[in-house]
Chains A and B, each alone.
Chain A
Amino acid sequence: MPEVSTIHPALAPLVAFGVLLGGAAIVFALDGLWAAAIAGRTSRTMWLEPLRRLALLLVQRPSTTERPDAMLRILAPAAYAAVAAGALSVVPLGDQVAIADVRTGIVMFGAAEALAIVAIFMHGWATNAHLSLLGGYRFVAMGLSYELVSMFVLIAAALPAESLQVSAIVTSQSELWNVLRQPLGLPLWLIPMMGVSFWGPLNLADGADLAGGTSAESSGRQRLLWQAARGGMLTVMAAMGAAAFLGGWLGPVLPGWLWMFIKTLALLIVVTGLGHVVGRVGAEKSMRLLWVVGLPLSFVHLGLAGWEALPR
């Protein structure tokens, strides 16, 4: 077992929420930059536009609907952020440093991911509005599909490491990164990455056809909290992808945390870009694609990883 130092419990919430907020800021900055680049509207001030939108959200008043579930309205973004923080706790953030590098790290990660379904449904339910509810239960219908794919892919990454501990998965990549050893892994990881944070082609919870879905009735700070939690979740999924497939903190010259940052950033750039070029696939169609193509591919991937990991 690798020697992993854990972050002091008193500092852990600061670190976790720092990573979540910082990550969310980067996600929305990247989103704005990609939108400007793809629309062909780059300018010197395009860097400021995400900041201006943040300011607008802070100034706008939060909306109220008729007889909402007030507790759930506050609880939903908090629960989503807490789930993201829980998942982040097992991901090594630097050179053998993690908040809580447990021996069953990927199981903990999967458990946290699964609870995201509850948080997103709460958000859809809370405002007592039809379209929000639709967005919430669409995600519930799809959630299992994303999580099954993520579990198989993570287990395949754990096989060469012979351990469920995420830092062990990272050290098992010291000769060869999993993205090369298990080529299907990272492309398949993009599915839960975009699914659990309902981004881009898998944005069923907050889709434009539902006038914003679970966010249709939110404005101002309320909406900012939900978007921040969502950006944070995407960051956590990217960090896990960096740890499991891109070698985590491993790399020459630069310190471990900087490598983690660069690799996570690379995955975020890819996913935010995909969100602006690949159209949202409808619920029925994506369900079919995930169960008929995605899952069998992940079984094949797991089988190949197992065969490769057999002792010779």
Chain B
Amino acid sequence: MAVNLLRALAARAAPPVFVLAGDGGQARARRLRLDPRVRAVDSPRHATVLVVVGRMPAGLNDAAAAVHDQLPEPRAVVVWSAVSPSVAGWSAAPRVGDDEDPVPLIVDVHRELLRRQRPSTEIIGPRTNPHKWQGVGPHGQGGEGMMGGHPYGRSMAMTGPDVRDGLQLDRVSVPLGPFLPFMPQGLELVSELQGDVIVGLQVIRWPASCLDVPPVFQRARTAPVRIAALERARAQHLVEVTGQLLALHGLPALAVRLHRAVKNDDPDALDRLATRLGRLGLLRGATAGVGQIDPDRVGGTGPNARAAGSSDDARVHDPAYRALNFAPIVHQRGDANARWQQRLAEATQALSLARRAGDAVRPPGPELETPRGRAGVHVDWDVVLPELAVGRALDAFVTTLVSLDLDFAKKDAPCQR
């Protein structure tokens, strides 16, 4: 009876969800994490519902199944996509279409799980580790001397020279991704860590090669769209990305508040919050001096470039914006602090532009400024990503990556939903 009371109480809690994003699902995944009706958690072991957003590519099925198996019982899967994932058993999982609101279904599934009206899903992957502990040595040890090797398929720490002064210290291989909550989804990395410093980075898998921009920006390339719609979508994207940075630094409640200001179309509230975050040092302390990079290495365009002093913005040359007296916002320094302040300032500016624009329409033709900058800029990520990582502490690298809001698309084609 006491257990029933506990289950009844637990059923009414905001469902803790772990969100996986596939192709075309990154933006919706970010939005879901900022939704106050659910509680997005950092680890699958803290969740009851696994939400799969977008089309899960076949190469990520094993990883998605592994994440699913980490959820403790009672667990369930909810799919927010037009297409069911091809993971075993998930074709029967409760599903909503791309344009619907998934939260009511998530809440219902959570309640049913806890009231025992829905069975918990079964483990998909193997229950035992196929790798052996023995390595190459005569006593079964791994590699050189008593260290190294891959017992049970995991790299053991091995000494190597420190990147800063050549001292021989232990290095450990830490796999990161592909579904680590704040990193670009689908990016699978293996980092060599020496303490907290990344001394090596290997990319096992890149995220979706399609462009992840709001649909209205895709339409704007070939069709006339209302400036207000374009700018509102821009503000929403910029705030969602900043919300991720806030959540990464332990401030999910502030992220929700920022998102509300955008949903309520309130540039003054957004401006006030941004000022408090900056001036009171609430996020400035965590990000000032962190993630200083040369923006030309990551495309040289968009908010990343403008946060480092460049005044390059395609909207300056766009006749539709001339009537609105558009002037680009610029920050100096080019660190993570400047980048999130730049994005919030641009979001506030976007909401004001949307208000002033009324029903004005932007004809297609002039170059388009997406929330990430000019389209069609290609970067050699195989070289640049390790450059961003090696020599930085792991937390500084993650902050840098999240503050840059990178698109690893190799093709200019938008994602198939």
Residues of A with Cβ closer than 8 Å to B? 34-36, 38-41, 48-49, 51-53, 55-56, 58-63, 66-67, 130-131, 134, 137-138, 141, 200-201, 203, 207-209, 211-212, 215-220, 223, 275-285, 289
In the complex, which residues of chain A have a beta carbon less than 8 angstroms from the beta carbon of B344? none
Nearest CB on A from B108, distance (A)? 16
Give how many A-B residue pairs fall within 8 Å (CB-CB): 164
Contact yes or no, B289 A277, CB < 8 A: no
Q: Are A208 and B10 in contact (CB under 8 A)?
A: no
Other A-B pairs beyond A55-B6, A56-B13, A279-B287, 7, CB < 8 Å: A58-B6, A59-B114, A130-B174, A207-B395, A208-B250, A278-B282, A282-B393
A-B contact pairs, 20 of them (CB 8 A): A35-B252, A36-B253, A39-B256, A39-B257, A52-B13, A56-B13, A59-B7, A59-B114, A61-B73, A137-B195, A208-B182, A209-B395, A212-B45, A218-B45, A223-B45, A276-B251, A278-B251, A279-B286, A285-B285, A289-B285
Residues of B within 8 Å of A134, CB to CB, are 174, 193, 196, 394
Asked if B290 lies at the interface with its beta carbon under 8 angstroms from chain A, I say: yes
| CB-based contact A211/B42 at 8 Å | yes
Instruction: Determine whether the beta carbon of B250 is less than 8 Å from that of A200.
Output: yes
The 3 closest A-B pairs by CB, nearest first: A52-B13, A279-B286, A279-B249
Q: Which of A52, A200, A211, A212 has the most CB of B within 10 A?
A: A211
Partner of A219, one of B12, B72, B281, B290: B72
Which B residues are in CB contact (< 8 Å) with A223?
45-46
Known contacts A60-B74, A275-B250; A52 and B9 CB within 8 A of each other: yes
Residues in B with CB closer than 8 Å to A200 are 250
Q: Is the CB of A217 within 8 A of B196?
A: no
Decide if B36 touches A283 in the complex (CB within 8 Å): no
Q: Is the CB of A284 within 8 A of B393?
A: yes
In the complex, the answer to whether A285 meets B13 with C-beta atoms within 8 Å is no
Find out whether the CB atom of B72 lies under 8 angstroms from the CB atom of A220.
yes
Specify which chain B residues have a CB less than 8 angstroms from the CB of A52 in the assembled complex: 9-10, 12-14
Assembled-state Cα–Cα distance A311/B283 (Å): 45
Of all chain A residues, the one with the shortest Cβ separation from B7 is A59
CB distance from A288 to the nearest CB of B (A): 9
Residues B1-57 near A (CB distance < 8 A): 3, 5-7, 9-10, 12-14, 16, 36, 41-43, 45-46, 48
CB distance from A130 to the nearest CB of B (A): 5
**Distance (Å) between the CB of A242 and the closest chain B CB?**
25
Interface centre among A58, A141, A203, A208 (most CB of B within 10 A): A208
A137 to B174, CA, bound (A): 14
Bound Cα distance A181, B221 (Å): 66
Closest to B180 in A: A211
Q: Are B253 and A39 in contact (CB under 8 A)?
A: yes
What A residues does B393 contact at CB under 8 A?
A: 282-284
A62-B72, A137-B195, A211-B180 known; A283+B395 contact, CB < 8 A: yes
Query: Is B396's CB within 8 Å of the partner chain A?
Result: yes
The smallest beta-carbon distance between A53 and chain B, in angstroms, is: 6
CB-based nearest A residue for B120: A61
A282→B392 CA distance, assembly (Å): 12
Bound CA span A58–B114, Å: 12
**Chief secondary structure at chain A's binding surface:** helix
CB pair A280 B249 closer than 8 Å: yes
CB distance from B246 to the nearest CB of A (A): 7
CA distance A217 to B70 in the complex (A): 8
Interface 1/0 per residue, B156-189 and A, CB below 8 Å: 0000000000000000101100001110000000
The 8 Å CB contact of B36, one of A39, A53, A220, A284, is: A39
Q: Given A208-B42, A208-B182: A279 and B246 within 8 A (CB)?
A: yes
Interface residue tally on B, bucketed by range: 35 or more
**Contact among A49, A58, A209 for B248, CB-based, below 8 A:** A209
Within 8 Å by CB of A66, from B74, B152, B181, B285, lies B152
Judge whether B152 and A67 touch: CB under 8 Å. Answer: yes
- Interface pair B9/A282, CB less than 8 Å apart: no
User: Does B399 make an interface contact (CB < 8 A)?
Assistant: yes
B347 CB–A CB distance under 8 Å? no
Interface pair A212/B253, CB less than 8 Å apart: no
Contact assessment for B289 and A285 in the assembled complex, using a CB-CB cutoff below 8 Å: yes
Query: Given contacts A55-B13, A138-B196, are A208 and B257 in contact (CB under 8 A)?
Result: no
B286 close to A281 (CB less than 8 A): yes
Tell me if B129 counts as interface (CB < 8 A to partner A): yes
Inter-subunit contact B45/A63 (CB<8 Å): yes
Q: Do A209 and B285 touch across chains, with their CB atoms under 8 A apart?
A: no
Contact (Cβ within 8 A) A60 B73:
yes
**Which residues of B lie under 8 Å from residue A131 when comparing CB positions?**
174
Chain B, residue nearest A35 (CB): B253
Given known A35-B253, A40-B260, A276-B251, contact A217–B182 (CB-CB < 8 A): no
Please give, as numbers and ranges, the residues of chain A lying within 8 Å of B409 by CB-CB distance: none
Q: Is B87 an interface residue (CB 8 A)?
A: no
The reply on B241 being an interface residue by CB < 8 A is no
Partner of B254, one of A38, A141, A207, A209: A38
Decide if A55 touches B42 in the complex (CB within 8 Å): no
User: Which residues from chain A contact B249 at a C-beta distance below 8 Å?
Assistant: 208, 279-280
- Residues of chain B within 8 A (CB-CB) of A207 are 250, 395
Task: Compute how far the CA of A52 lies from the CA of B253 in the bound complex, rounded to whole angstroms.
Answer: 18
In this complex, the member of A200, A215, A216, A285 whose beta carbon has the largest number of chain B beta carbons within 10 angstroms is: A285
A49 and B13 form a contact (CB under 8 A): yes
Q: Is the CB of B254 within 8 A of A53?
A: no
Chain B 229-269 interface residues, beta-carbon cutoff 8 Å to A: 246-254, 256-257, 260
Q: Which residue of B lies closest to A38 (CB)?
A: B253
Cβ of B375 under 8 Å from chain A: no
- In the complex, are the beta carbons of B42 and A212 less than 8 A apart? yes
- Closest partner residue, chain A, to B336 (CB atom): A282
Does B379 make an interface contact (CB < 8 A)? no
B398 within 8 A of A: yes
Alpha-carbon distance between A220 and B46 when the two chains are bound, in angstroms? 8
CA distance A243 to B166 in the complex (A): 49
Binary contact readout B380-409 vs A (1 if CB under 8 angstroms, 0 otherwise): 000000000000011110110000000000
Query: Contacts A59-B7, A208-B182, A280-B250: A40 and B257 contacting too (C-beta < 8 A)?
Result: yes
Residue contact A276 to B175, C-beta cutoff 8 Å? no
- Which residues of A have CB within 8 Å of B45? 63, 212, 216-219, 223
Q: B residues within 8 A CB of A58?
A: 6, 10
CB distance from B368 to the nearest CB of A (A): 33
Given contacts A41-B36, A208-B247, contact A216 B42 (CB under 8 A): yes
